[in-house]
Structure 1
Amino acid sequence: MKRIIGFLTLLSLLVLTACSSQVTDPKTDAWDSYQKRGALTIGFDNTFVPMGFQEKNGSNVGFDIDLANRIFEKQGLKVNWQPIDWDMKETELNNGTIDLIWNGYTQTEERAEKVNFSLPYMANEQVLVAKKASGIQTPTDMKDKVLGAQAGSSGYLKFEEYPDLLKQYVKNNRATQYQSFNEALIDLENDRIDGLLIDRVYANYYLTQKGVLEDYQVFPVGFPEEAFAVGIRKSDKTLQERLNQGLLELYQTGQFQEISDKWFGDDVASKQLKEEAKK
C-alpha cells in the first residue's frame, strides 16, 4: 500500500510539472506560439553572478536578467526563468524545454553547430584565479598544480582546445569540473584546488563582493577573446530577429548603458553591438 501511495504521489507530481511547463516544438519557428501563450522560457545558471543568479529571497537578478526582461516586456512577453544544468544547456534548448540560453553564454564555433546566436552584446575573457600567497602568476606556475573549471563552460572547452596554453602544465593534464563557479571558488578559498579557470566578469564581481580581490591574482591565460551572446534554436528565426532588434533598441535609447552601469559601473557593450547601433 505504501508503494502504491508513493507511486501515485510521484505520478501526480509529474503530471503537475508537465501541465505547468510549456514545451516548445523545436522544429518550428515558434514566435506565434510565444505570442499566444504570452511568455517564453530562458534557461540560465542561477549561480552566475552578476549575469544571472538567485538571491536568498528566491528572486532572479543580474545583468542578463535585466536585459532580457526589458527586451521582452517591450514585445509583450513574460520571461520564465528556468535554472538548468549548464552542461546540458544545448540539449535543453533543442528539446524545447527552454527557448533561449541567456546567461553569460560565450559564442564559439563548436556551439554554433548546435545553436544560432544573437548579436554578441558583451566582451569577455577567460582568466586564471589563484591566491597571491601561492606564488602562481603565469600558466607555467600551474605545473603539477590542481586546476578547477565549470563543466560545460567556455573556459573548460578552451582548456581542451588549446592544451599548450594550460593543460600541459596542470596536474594529470586535467581540470576538476564543478557544476557551478560558486562551488569551485569555495574549493579555491579552502586550498582544495590551486587555480580556477573562470570568466573575468564573474571572478572580478565575486572577489570584489567578498572583499578579497587584493588577496588573489587574476590574469589571462592566452585564450582568444570571447563575446557573450544569446543561444537560439536554429528554427527560431523570428525570435532571433526580434531579439537582435531589442538589443539594438536598448543600446540606441541608452537603456543598455543604464543596466550596464548598474551592474558594472561601466559600458560593457561589445564593439559589434556599438557599431550596429550606430547604423
Structure 2
Amino acid sequence: MKRILKYVLVLMAILFAIPVLSGCGSSKKESSVQPSSWETIKKNKKVVIGLDDSFVPMGFRQKNGELSGYDIDLAKAVFKQYGIKADFQTIDWSMNVTELRNQTIDLIWNGLTITDERKKALTFSEPYLVNQQVLVVKKDSGITDIKGMNGKSLGAQSGSSGAQDIDDHPTILKDRIKNNAPVLYDSFNNAFIDLNANRIQGLLIDSVYANYYIKHMANSKNYRVITSGMPNEEFAVGIKKGNVQVKEKIDSAINRLRENGELKKINEKWFGK
C-alpha cells in the first residue's frame, strides 16, 4: 500500500510540473522579443516617437493643437514605406533617454543632437540635418557679440545640447556669464518669455529653432542672432542602445527619400530653398 501511495504521489508531482515547465518556456520566448525592437514595431504596425512639442520647426503644436513640424513629416514619410503608423508622445525633454530605456517610447526624434555623452546611452541613426547653436539677444540690450554677455544672465534648455556645450566649451560662454552657469528652462518658449522680460539677457538656442521662431514673431525685428562659436551639430534619431535593425531600417528609408526627391521637398517646406 505504501509503495502504491508513493507511486501515486510521484505521478502527481510529474503532472503538476509539466504545465509549470511549459509555462517557463513560453515566458522565455516572449521576453526575447523587446517592445522597441523592429520585430515588435512591425508586428504592431505602430511606432511611438517621443518629442518636445514646443520645438519649432522640428515638432510643435499649432494654434489648433495639431502636431506639425519637419521631424513629424520626415518620421511619417520614413515609416509609411513600411506600412507603419508613427504616433507621437510628448515627453519631458530632460528625461528623453530615461523614457526610451523604460520603453514608454520607441524612438527619440525631435532635433536630437549627436553627442559623445548620448552615444554612451543611445544608438543613433545616420545624421539627417546640420545645426548650430546661436546666441539670441534683444537688440535694445546693446549686445552685439559673445563678449557682450560678460556678467549677464544666459538661458538654455534643460537637457539640451546647448546646455551641454556651455559646459564642454567653458571659455566661450560659461566663464563669462553671471554665476558661471546658465538659467535652465523646460522649454524655449518659457526662455523667450524671460528674455523679453529682461530676466535673462541672452539665450543659447538651436539655429533651426531661432530662425523659424523669430521669423514668425510679430516683433521679429527686436531680436539679434549672434554666432556662438560652438561647434556644428548633427541631428539624428535616438534609438534604444543595440537596436541595430531599427537603425538600419530608418537609415535605408531616409536614403530612399533622399534619392526620390521627397527629402528635398520636406527640407524646402520648412527651411525654404
TM range (shorter): 0.7 to 0.9
Question: Is 2:84 the partner of 1:77?
Answer: yes
Matched with 2:139 is 132
* 2:36 and 2:106 in contact (8 A); partners too: no
Over 3 Å counting, the alpha-carbon distance change for 1:120 and 1:244 in structure 2 is same
Helix, strand or coil at the partner of 2:198: coil
Give the one of 222, 244, 252 matched to 1:245: 252
User: What is the SS of the residue equivalent to 2:216?
Assistant: helix
Q: Over aligned residues, Cα RMSD in angstroms?
A: 1.6
The alignment's TM-score, normalised by the length of structure 2, stands at: 0.86
Partner-residue secondary structure (3-state), 1:210: coil
- 1:252–1:223 distance in 2 versus 1, CA, 3 Å: same
Shift of residue 27, structure 1, vs aligned partner = 5.7
Q: Deviations over 1:69-124 (max 9, x none)?
A: 01101111111100000000011111111111100100111110000111110010
Number of residue equivalences:
243
* Partner residue in 1 for 2:120: 113
Provide the rounded CA distance (Å) in 1 between the counterparts of 2:86 and 2:60: 15
Q: Does structure 1 retain, via aligned residues, the 8 Å contact 2:61–2:68?
A: yes
1:99 maps to 106
Given candidates 254, 257, 265, the residue that maps to 1:258 is: 265
Partner of 2:58: 51
Gap regions ≥5 residues in structure 2: 1-30
Task: Indicate which of 209, 218, 222 corresponds to 2:216.
Answer: 209
Q: Partners in 1 of 2:67 and 2:126 — Cα distance?
A: 24
Equivalence map 1:178-193=2 (5 Å)? 178-193=185-200
User: Contact conserved, 2:135 with 2:228, CA < 8 A, in 1?
Assistant: yes
Match of 2:234 among 223, 227, 231: 227
Aligned residues with identical type, % of pairs:
47
| CA–CA separation in structure 2 for the residues paired with 1:215 and 1:100 | 37
Query: CA 1:54 to 1:246, structure 2 compared with 1: closer, same or farther past 3 Å?
Result: same
Q: CA deviation at 1:28?
A: 7.3
Q: Deviations over 1:242-268 (max 9, x none)?
A: 0000110111100011011111113xx
Q: Deviations over 1:128-178 (max 9, x none)?
A: 000111111122111111110000000000001111110011111111100
The answer as to whether partners of 2:35 and 2:41 remain within 8 angstroms in 1 is: no
Q: What displacement does 1:217 show?
A: 1.5
Tell me the equivalent position of 1:142.
Answer: 149
Question: Structure 1: which amino acid aligns with 2:50?
Answer: G
Aligned AA for 1:36? K
Distance 2:119 2:144 in 1: 33
Is the 8 Å Cα contact of residues 25 and 96 (structure 1) preserved in structure 2?
no
Structure with bigger gyration radius: 2
User: In 2, distance between residues paired with 1:119 and 1:35?
Assistant: 21
1:25 CA drift (Å): 8.3
1:41 aligns with 48
Give the distance between the partners of 1:168 and 1:37, measured in 2 at CA. 50
Q: Distance in 2 between matches of 1:25 and 1:145?
A: 53
